Amino acid sequence: MSQDGLNRRGFLEIVAGGALTGLLAPPSQTDKARPKGLYVERGTLMRAGRPYRGIGANYFDLFYRLLRNPSDSSSLANLRRLAQHGIPFVRFMCGGFWPSEQSLYLKKPAEFFARLDWVVDTAERCGVGLIPSLFWNYSTVPDLMGEPMQAYGDPKSRTNAYIHQFTKQVVTRYRGSEAIWGWEFGNEYNLTADLPNASEHRPPVVPTLGTPTSRSARDELHWSDIQVALETFAHTVRLYDPQRILLTGNAIPRPSAYHNLHDHTWQLDTAAQFETILQRDNPNPFNTICIHLYRDSKNIYPGGAKNPGEVVALANQVAQKTRKPLVIEEFGISRQEGTPAQQRVLFQEFLDVFSRYGVPLAAFWVFDFAAQDADWNVTFDNDRAFMIEMAAACSQAEAQAKASVQEGPFNGGVGR
């Protein structure tokens, strides 16, 4: 604890003194030549001057494995295999899950970024896009900075100073890379906000992994806290990368999110209330509508929807109204939902819904994550490998359709 304390105290001194500035990449002329990665143009998701649609994968362990064990490069080898099989992009956790794992950034920042360089360099070489999620676990940064969760809501907190500095370093280091497709804040922070039973859902206490020894009411998040942190992240990104897409990383709102906020009950929200919360969860300057979507065993979905297809229809209406592309960063079918043949049918239903509503970007959960072998893991060698093939086939079919339109007699653009 004493060493962590020294790191926290020294963090602001490091920022103020510029000791980490050597890790910041200088601006290059090519940055201004054309947009890199994914960007939004008049409400349409674009890549390399054309509208883009694709199905990728969540690769939670891509960097995490290297962060924990730099001698284990299996995730890089598997990233190359994904590229060979036609998966166009992956979303990954860009840091440690626990404070003790992320402390490498404070103690040995050059080593931290050397390992992240391996990921970006590999993606560049094999042509896979990357969507890094910079602050995946909502309790990691406040714990690392020795502050409660509500420090997210204080613009002058060490937590927000850390968000600014880490974001600045990552963005300036990799903004010149064609492999970076977009920037994500974190994973599903919206699900932690304003819960009626918040005291039962405080972050875990695991001191051996860098958490405090106890929690309090100040560790119960409100949306107003999260909003400040999102602003810190988004405005920092836009200082150094004005074009790539910004994603909150938020899940589909809870079916009672509006009532959680306003009257602290579990009453189900109406479609209008769902729209209000979905827009709140993806505020400007975030230029996408980000959701995570899974089948619910009780068929309880937000906005009065009765199935995932109706959820996508509602979310797509908000996307069109706000002129922000709909991004389904997570979707999937677990082993518990049936045999492999039944899982294949349900997976195809998701893909059909995405096609029906023109969802430009989606990623299945989850590739090469042994911790979830029992339910969600998809590998090249297990009985769920068909999901890789199906996702790749969708992306390849979309690319071929675009190519045929571009080569048509009028050389017209792709539109829906």
CB-side neighbour CA atoms (13 Å) of 269 = 27
Report the alpha-carbon distance of residue 149 to residue 126 in Å, rounded.
Answer: 39
pLDDT value of position 34: 76
Q: Read off the pLDDT of residues 183-220 as tens digits, 9 standing for 90 and up.
A: 999 999 999 999 999 999 999 999 999 999 999 999 99
pLDDT value of position 392: 97
Q: Is the pLDDT of residue 14 over 80?
A: no
Read off the amino acid at residue 197.
N
Sheet order of strands, 129-133 included: 245-247, 182-184, 129-133, 89-93, 54-58, 361-364, 326-332, 289-294
SS3 326: strand
Report the alpha-carbon distance of residue 229 to residue 139 in Å, rounded.
Answer: 13
CB-CB contact of 319 with 326 (8 Å): yes
pLDDT value of position 403: 64
- Its sign, for the CA torsion 57, 63, 64, 65, is positive
Report the alpha-carbon distance of residue 8 to residue 2 in Å, rounded.
Answer: 10
| DSSP sequence for 28-78 | -GGGGTS--SEEEETTEEEETTEE--EEEEE-THHHHHHHH-TT--HHHHH
Q: Read off the pLDDT of residues 29-71 as tens digits, 9 standing for 90 and up.
A: 444 567 999 999 999 999 999 999 999 999 999 999 999 999 9
pTM over 0.85: yes
| DSSP sequence for 94-156 | -S-SSHHHHHHHHH-HHHHHHHHHHHHHHHHHHT-EEEEETT-STTHHHHHTT--GGGGG-TT
| Mean pLDDT of all residues belonging to the chain | 91
Q: Read off the pLDDT of residues 121-163 as tens digits, 9 standing for 90 and up.
A: 999 999 999 999 999 999 999 999 999 999 999 999 999 999 9
Q: Read off the pLDDT of residues 244-274 as tens digits, 9 standing for 90 and up.
A: 999 999 999 999 999 999 999 999 999 999 9
Nearest by Cα to 74 from 377, 370, 332, 365: 370
SS3 331: strand
Question: Count of H helices and E strands in the chain?
Answer: 13, 11
Read off the amino acid at residue 294.
Y
pLDDT value of position 32: 53
Report the alpha-carbon distance of residue 139 to residue 159 in Å, rounded.
Answer: 10
Q: Read off the pLDDT of residues 64-108 as tens digits, 9 standing for 90 and up.
A: 999 999 999 999 999 999 999 999 999 999 999 999 999 999 999
